[in-house]
Amino acid sequence: MNSMTFLLAQNVSSEFLLDPIKPMFLFVTALLASAIVSKLVSDIHKCGLASHKWHAILIGGLTAGLFAGLFIPTFWISWPTQIIFTVGPILFYWKTRNAAVPEKQKFVIGGDKVRAFFKKRGTSKSLAGAQLAFKDANKKDRPNPAKTDPILPAFQAADALLGNALHKRASRVDLVVKPDAVSAAITVDGIRSKADSATPEITTAMIDFLKGLAALDVKEKRKRQSGSFFVIKEEVVIPVSISIAGSSAGQQLRIDFDRAHTMTRTIPQVGFLPSQEKTVQSIMDPMARGGVALLAAAPGQGLTSTALAMLSGHDAFTAAVKTLEKNLIHRLDGVDHQVWTSAQGGVDYSTHLQSIIRRSPDVVYVEDAAEVGVGKLIAAPNNNEIRFYVAVPVDGVAAAITEWVKSVGDVKLAAGPLRLVIAQKLCRKLCLACRVGYQPSPDQAKKLGIAAGKQVELFKGSGKVQTKNKIIDCPMCNGTGYVGQIIISEVFVVDDEARVFLAKGDLKSAYNSSRLRHKLPGMQESALLRVRDGTTSLEEAIRILSPAASKTAAPAAAADKPTSTTPPAAGKPAAGKSAPAPSAAKPASPPNKPKASQ
């Protein structure tokens, strides 16, 4: 074996001595390949793939390639062999990675992700100091203006407004431009706050600049227009949707960043508690489809995201899944998304829904049950083989059922197909970098249903971290103490017994009997469970549970309305009906030590 290596090595040196160009090929190949592999090493972790295994495969390929290149005597065999050994594992990784990550993060040849992946920071910026670069509606680069360009102030205003909003992790920006004043607001994790803005003249010019990017009619100042474009921030391409309308009072602009990004969740990713998830999954059984599931949330509380997750629970290959939406945010693979608009003077919503039902779908998502005739159509006994997901833009199980009954117009007919109600709110998640642990006071512990004497650590947001003797705003959450949102939900099963009560208009008994039998947590109990597991803080739970936080439902006046429209207190959670008193928001002197160092 040793002599073999020796002979090969001799061969190497003789060929290398004869022709210095050939080794160059080997080294350049090895160099390029190691540059790619070193980039991929950080990518492996991000994609959640097995690090050790992939490091071994990629580096093994690199090494094997180099050895083949060095020790196979004939260059025209050794070099191609090196390439095959080196590139093979990289291609294999590419394929595995694309299968593992969501559509948006896949590497596609010529795709932005791949380009951004290899692009050096800031190369797309022609203007020093700009935070962002822009792409138009067709994804074509819009070069940043030169210093003398008259568009410069408008560009800089857009760069500042959108750049600062993105820096603060905003999902949305709202602008109102009046002749003498501009007001701007950003929404971060569902919380709206004021933002800085430029003068009315510059803001108007900025709006024209953004309209131009989105290929909208710049001269049209009145009619509502919607479009999209892209911004690039730190190599990441972010889709931006804008919607603008004007009146004599001024223009109103709404900007949403990457609206589709939460729309590709599966049911396990929605954030149900384990018992809730099990119940939700149980109605996915293709053998027992049929029936109506109401999905309820006040506007802005993540309803569309949950609705799409429910649709993704049905196999689009074996079930015909259709939707009728007014605001199409995201298309799911295999789902027939149909968009209804009032503007075209075409058929009304329920007629459009009727035509969808006629094509015998298996699953239908209905975005607006308040439209005339829609409830009646869905509840019609001859449609009982179809599973309907019906969005109801109200807060809470009771309000959702009341709205549903109102939409159908007959309490008995409405109760018939009802199988499940999911009501949800969005709750901010504590920032893991700066949350602070504390022991709840006996009073708080009691409200959280913690047995007396049991030691439990709760967490609260601090927004501060310590770096080398200095307390600074936490860089992960920009000092808010929270990063991202999760749903807090109540899953309510309408079983046969509950249905009988409902058909009689007795919502209270229906609610109590189902809660007793299925033992699923109510809204308040769900929120408190998320406090106990450290996902959120007691303060945040109280905020989302207090009626002021979420706009309460439409008036509960139904044609045949159930006797009770307020959710009855279910005896289950120790906290009972009353939300924890606001005084509970102040934990008894928490030990003030930030958990993480950075």
Count of beta carbons in the 10 Å neighbourhood of residue 547: 9
- Cα three-residue angle 391-393-399, rounded to 5 degrees: 100
User: Which one, of 19, 1, 17, lies nearest residue 76 by Cα?
Assistant: 19
DSSP 3-state assignment of 276?
helix
The amino acid occupying position 345 is G
Position among 324, 397, 434, 531 found at the interface with Zn ion (CB under 5 A): 434
**In whole angstroms, what is the distance from residue 173 CA to residue 181 CA?**
17
Residue 187 in contact with residue 170, Cβ under 8 Å? Answer: yes
**Closer CB to Zn ion, 22 or 464, in the complex:** 464
User: Which one, of 240, 253, 241, lies nearest residue 177 by Cα?
Assistant: 253
Is residue 433 at the binding interface for Zn ion, with CB under 5 A as the rule?
Answer: yes
DSSP 3-state assignment of 485?
strand
DSSP 8-state secondary structure symbol assigned to residue 40: H
**Sequence-distant (≥ 6) Cβ neighbours of residue 148 within 8 angstroms:** none
**Closer CB to Zn ion, 446 or 595, in the complex:** 595
> To the nearest whole angstrom, how small is the minimum distance from the Cβ of residue 485 to Zn ion?
15
> To the nearest whole angstrom, how small is the minimum distance from the Cβ of residue 463 to Zn ion?
6
**Closer CB to Zn ion, 157 or 531, in the complex:** 531
Residue listed under structure tokens 């803005």? 197
**Closer CB to Zn ion, 483 or 498, in the complex:** 483
Is residue 270 at the binding interface for Zn ion, with CB under 5 A as the rule?
Answer: no
DSSP 8-state secondary structure symbol assigned to residue 103: G
Task: For residue 459, list its beta bridge partners.
Answer: 437
> To the nearest whole angstrom, how small is the minimum distance from the Cβ of residue 476 to Zn ion?
4
Conformation bin of residue 272: beta by default, left when phi > 0, alpha when psi is -120 to 50: beta
> To the nearest whole angstrom, how small is the minimum distance from the Cβ of residue 472 to Zn ion?
11
Count of beta carbons in the 10 Å neighbourhood of residue 319: 18
Conformation bin of residue 412: beta by default, left when phi > 0, alpha when psi is -120 to 50: alpha
Q: From residue 148, give the alpha-carbon distance in Å to each of 145, 152, 153, 303.
A: 8, 7, 10, 47
Stretch that binds Zn ion, among 327-335, 370-378, 428-436, 522-530 (CB under 5 A): 428-436
Stretch that binds Zn ion, among 299-307, 426-434, 505-513, 556-564 (CB under 5 A): 426-434
> To the nearest whole angstrom, how small is the minimum distance from the Cβ of residue 169 to Zn ion?
11
> To the nearest whole angstrom, how small is the minimum distance from the Cβ of residue 257 to Zn ion?
20
Stretch that binds Zn ion, among 212-220, 230-238, 477-485, 528-536 (CB under 5 A): 477-485
Position among 283, 476, 529, 538 found at the interface with Zn ion (CB under 5 A): 476
Residue 311 in contact with residue 363, Cβ under 8 Å? Answer: yes
Position among 423, 474, 520, 529 found at the interface with Zn ion (CB under 5 A): 474
Stretch that binds Zn ion, among 310-318, 425-433, 442-450, 510-518 (CB under 5 A): 425-433
> To the nearest whole angstrom, how small is the minimum distance from the Cβ of residue 483 to Zn ion?
7
> To the nearest whole angstrom, how small is the minimum distance from the Cβ of residue 452 to Zn ion?
32
DSSP 3-state assignment of 152?
helix
**Closer CB to Zn ion, 240 or 476, in the complex:** 476
> To the nearest whole angstrom, how small is the minimum distance from the Cβ of residue 189 to Zn ion?
12
Task: For residue 593, list its beta bridge partners.
Answer: none
How many residues make contact with Zn ion (CB under 5 A)? 6
**In whole angstroms, what is the distance from residue 540 CA to residue 525 CA?**
14
Position among 37, 431, 541, 558 found at the interface with Zn ion (CB under 5 A): 431
> To the nearest whole angstrom, how small is the minimum distance from the Cβ of residue 492 to Zn ion?
35
Task: For residue 172, list its beta bridge partners.
Answer: 187, 256
Is residue 353 at the binding interface for Zn ion, with CB under 5 A as the rule?
Answer: no
Stretch that binds Zn ion, among 227-235, 272-280, 433-441, 452-460 (CB under 5 A): 433-441
> To the nearest whole angstrom, how small is the minimum distance from the Cβ of residue 543 to Zn ion?
18
**In whole angstroms, what is the distance from residue 145 CA to residue 161 CA?**
17
Give residues 72-91 in contact with Zn ion (rule: CB under 5 A): none
Give residues 7-66 in contact with Zn ion (rule: CB under 5 A): none
**Closer CB to Zn ion, 170 or 378, in the complex:** 170
**Closer CB to Zn ion, 158 or 474, in the complex:** 474
Position among 186, 477, 528, 584 found at the interface with Zn ion (CB under 5 A): 477
Q: Build a one-symbol-per-residue string for 377-416: x at contacts with Zn ion by CB under 5 A, - elsewhere.
A: ----------------------------------------
**In whole angstroms, what is the distance from residue 533 CA to residue 544 CA?**
17
CA 178 to chain centre: 33
Stretch that binds Zn ion, among 250-258, 314-322, 474-482, 575-583 (CB under 5 A): 474-482
**In whole angstroms, what is the distance from residue 393 CA to residue 418 CA?**
17
> To the nearest whole angstrom, how small is the minimum distance from the Cβ of residue 434 to Zn ion?
3
Q: Could you list the residues that contact Zn ion (CB under 5 A)?
A: 431, 433-434, 474, 476-477
